[in-house]
Amino acid sequence: MIVAVDLLKPFSYEFFRNGLIIATLAGALCGLIGVFVVLRGMSYIGHGLSHAVFGGAALAAVLNLNYFLGAGFWGLASGLMIGRVSRKRIIGADAAIGVITTASFAMGLALQARFGQAKRSIDAVLFGNVLGVFTSDILAVAGVGVLSVVVIIGLYRKLLFATFDPEVAGVSGVSVPAMEAVLMVLLSATILVTVRVIGVLLISALLVLPAVTARLMTNSFGRMLWLSPVLGAIFGGVGMYISWYADIPSGAVIILAGTLVFIAAYSAVGVRRRSQLAGLSHH
Amino acid sequence: MKSVPEENQNLMKCEHMSCSYGGAPVIEGVDLTIRRGEFVGIVGPSGSGKTTLLRALLGSIKPVHGKVERLPGLRLAYVPQLETVDWNFPVTVGEVIGMSRPQRLMRPKSQNSELALIEDVLERLGLGGLLQRHIRELSGGQQQRVFLARALIQKPDMLILDEPTAGVDVRTRHEVLHVLADLNESPPHGDGIAIVLTTHDLNGLAAHLPRLVCFNRTVIADGTPAEVLQPYFLERTYGAPMEVLQHGGMPIVLEQGGDELRNRLNRSSAS
Ligand SMILES: Nc1ncnc2c1ncn2[C@@H]1O[C@H](COP(=O)(O)OP(=O)(O)OP(=O)(O)O)[C@@H](O)[C@H]1O
Ligand SMILES: [Mg+2]
């Protein structure tokens, strides 16, 4: 009885409930978008965008602009700049992302240190501040989540075709640039609504960890598409819950929980492949 | 539309077509006509622009000179070279075949005829029991048939294949050719599908086709294998002298200089 009461205790605090909801939702959303991020090799773009958006958010705060306006505009501008720089072909896209987004991130840190009213600590920027969540943040993440689910179900085959086999998709009547644009918009929206709450590092991790873990567990695109958000939600929710008891920042626990599951899946696959090979050599 | 399927109707016509990837033209002054129900092979050395020609036929690259005319409403489907497929992508046989289906969430009833077509295609290509497999867990011939099925579900009037028999053994090559010949004569939908393919296999594949095009940056010869597989055209296509024998009415192409190569190799292994 006492144990049961104790386990439920954190739920009596509203800030914990909000934090748990947002960590779970953000995990699911990043898990869903992460499938495309991983399969299309966009993880560095996601990493870059989250850094750039953070810079924009800091600037918006200093100028007293609306967060979504400032951060959204800045993210868009960085995306376009990355495109321009890398199209010149002297500098590769990855290097262009590195330069532009780390500069943007550094600017954000500088602005925050110099002008931030309630100087947020560095780890709040990197790992977010899951406990300072408003209902509006939850609604924003939920809204982008619903939008993503609707778009991905509605365009399922086209998105798969354009991701797996762009050349043939193009001649089969799928507009590959349109599908790429749709995914970029979903990725940017995901980062925009989550970066303030769950932090720059955590987004990068959540965009990759659930998807690569799901990839290890299935060979089917359709199954990966629901497995990855489920894993993301579990990483987020369980990590959040454990962090309460372990008294470790939630972001760090979420990443560690995800990494542990990834390692377990990786080892399990290794064992399965090895036993398959052993089975083959016996026959 | 195609309610009056004329024999010999032109499906596609290239006139003086040149294409490039931004720099100098890769193929130049191509004149080529494909008619309904034809079966055409394109041969030429590596880098001669065969894949580029296919891309131009498909419309995925636009000519910089000349033009391509397609019959209005022409349905094209493409089977890419297997080497270009990402075999690590998490996708099952069923998912690959399904990705070319139009998505109609709102009108589930109209899918009945579509489902019948899919079943027919799966049965013809012998893929029925494999839908849950990952694409890497298949033989080369099965892999080829998966991508063929994806193309056929689009009910094409014209099927374009890039090196469908590259890297497969003699038996699989036969199997693929028989499937293609069947489709050419009696497809699962409508009337005969026109087939255009590229190949490096002169004797095993090209010599069996009704029509052959020798290609090196442009069309060098176009006709039946007997007309086209001639030392003069082959040397202009491949830039190396070749000999042609006749065997049971079929041309067989031999490389020249084989003796010299054999002598050299034997000498070096003897020393
Ligand atoms: N995407 C591309 N961008 C730039 N150049 C290209 C591209 N694809 C092909 N080329 C060039 O165009 C020429 C023709 O290439 P193509 O692939 O059409 O030849 P191919 O006849 O299909 O060769 P293979 O038999 O080896 O497949 C080559 O010189 C090649 O380097
Ligand atoms: Mg080629």
Residue entry with tokens 């008891």: A245
Beta bridge partners of B92: B134
Selection from A97, A55, A103, A105 nearest residue A80 by Cα: A97
User: Helices A176-198 and A200-217 sit at what angle, rounded to 10 degrees?
Assistant: 120
DSSP label of B191: S
| A39 with B89: Cβ contact below 8 A | yes
Residue numbers of the domain that contains A249: 2-273
pLDDT tens profile A109-133 = 888 778 765 555 666 677 777 777 8
Residue of A nearest to B59 (CA): A171
Instruction: Give domain status of residue A208, yes or no.
Output: yes
Q: Is residue A280 part of a domain?
A: no
In a domain, A283, yes or no: no
- Rounded alpha-carbon distances, angstroms, from residue A185 to A144, A150, B54: 11, 14, 33
| Beta-carbon-side half-sphere exposure of residue A139 (alpha carbons within 13 Å) | 3
CA distance A190 to A211: 15
- CATH 3.40.50.300 in chain B is located at 1-75+157-240
Task: Please give the pLDDT value at position A251.
Answer: 84
Locate the chain B residue with the closest alpha carbon to A218.
B90
Chain B nearest CA to A223, separation (Å): 9
Residue A230 lies in a domain: yes
- Ligand nearest the Cα atom of residue B22: 1
pLDDT at site B220: 95
DSSP letters, chain B, are -TTS--TT-EEEEEEEEEEESSSSEEEEEEEEEEETT-EEEEE--TTSSHHHHHHHHHTSS--SEEEEEE-TT--EEEE--GGGS-TTS--BHHHHHHTTS---SS-GGGGHHHHHHHHHHHHHHT-GGGTTSBTTSS-HHHHHHHHHHHHHTT--SEEEESSTTTT--HHHHHHHHHHHHHHHHS-SSSS--EEEEEES-TTTTGGGSSEEEEESSSEEEEE-HHHH--HHHHHHHHSS-EEEEEETTEEEEEETTHHHHHHHHHHHHH-
pLDDT value, residue B1: 43
- Report the b/e string of A157-186 with b at 16+ CB within 10 A: bbbbbbbbbbebbbbbebebeebbebbeeb
| Rounded-to-integer distance, Cα A88 and Cα B4, Å | 52
Pairing type for strands B194-199 and B25-35 reads: unpaired
Read off the pLDDT of residues B155-177 as tens digits, 9 standing for 90 and up: 899 999 999 988 788 888 888 88
For the residues B24-43, what does the mean pLDDT come to? 94
Map tokens 């084989």 to a residue.
B258
- Look at chain A and report how many structural domains it folds into: 1
Q: How many whole angstroms from B47 Cα to the centroid of ligand 1?
A: 5
Give the model's pLDDT for residue A277: 56
- The CA distance from B195 to B36, in Å, is 9
Q: How many CB pairs under 8 A join A and B?
A: 64
Atom 31 (ligand 1): residue with closest C-alpha? Answer: B47
Q: What is the pLDDT of residue A281?
A: 46
CA atoms of B81 and B91, how far apart (whole Å): 18
DSSP calls for A208-272: HHHHHHHHHH-S-HHHHHHHHHHHHHHHHHHHHHHHHHHTS-HHHHHHHHHHHHHHHHHHHHHHH
Token pair for residue A76? 């868009």
Instruction: Note the ligand closest to the C-alpha atom of B162.
Output: 2
Name chain B contacts of A160, Cβ cutoff 8 Å: 91, 95, 99
Domain contains A282: no
> Out of A157, A168, A220, whose CB is closest to B80?
A168
Q: Round the average pLDDT of chain B to a whole number and report it.
A: 87
A221 vs B244, more confident: A221
Q: How many CA within 13 A on the CB side of residue A241?
A: 14
Residue A281 domain flag: no
Is A162 inside a domain boundary?
yes
Q: How many helices (H) and strands (E) does chain B have?
A: 8, 11
Confidence of residue B2 (pLDDT cuts 50, 70, 90): very low
Superfamily of domain B1-75+157-240: P-loop containing nucleotide triphosphate hydrolases (3.40.50.300)
Question: Which pLDDT band, with edges at 50, 70 and 90, does B107 fall under?
Answer: low
Residue B270 pLDDT class (50, 70, 90 cuts): low
Whether A50 contacts A187, CB under 8 Å: no
Residue B214's pLDDT is 94
> Which positions in chain B touch A156 (Cβ < 8 Å)?
103
- pLDDT tens-digit profile of B220-253? 999 999 899 888 898 889 888 888 888 877 888 8
**DSSP string across A43-74:** HHHHHHHHHHHHHHHHHHHHTT--HHHHHHHH
The domain spanning residue A249 has which CATH number?
A: 1.10.3470.10
Q: Which atom of ligand 1 is nearest to the CA of B200?
A: 25
CB spacing of A172 vs B100 below 8 angstroms: yes
Work out the angle at residue B143's Cα, subtended by the Cα atoms of residues B141 and B144, and round it to the nearest 5 degrees.
65
Q: Is B190 left (phi over 0), alpha (psi -120 to 50) or beta?
A: left
Q: How many CA atoms lie within 13 A of A168 on its CB side?
A: 27
Structure tokens at B215: 């290609």
Q: Which atom of ligand 1 is nearest to the CA of B44?
A: 21
pLDDT at B95 over 50: yes
Say how many C-beta atoms besides its own lie within 10 A of residue B215's C-beta.
24
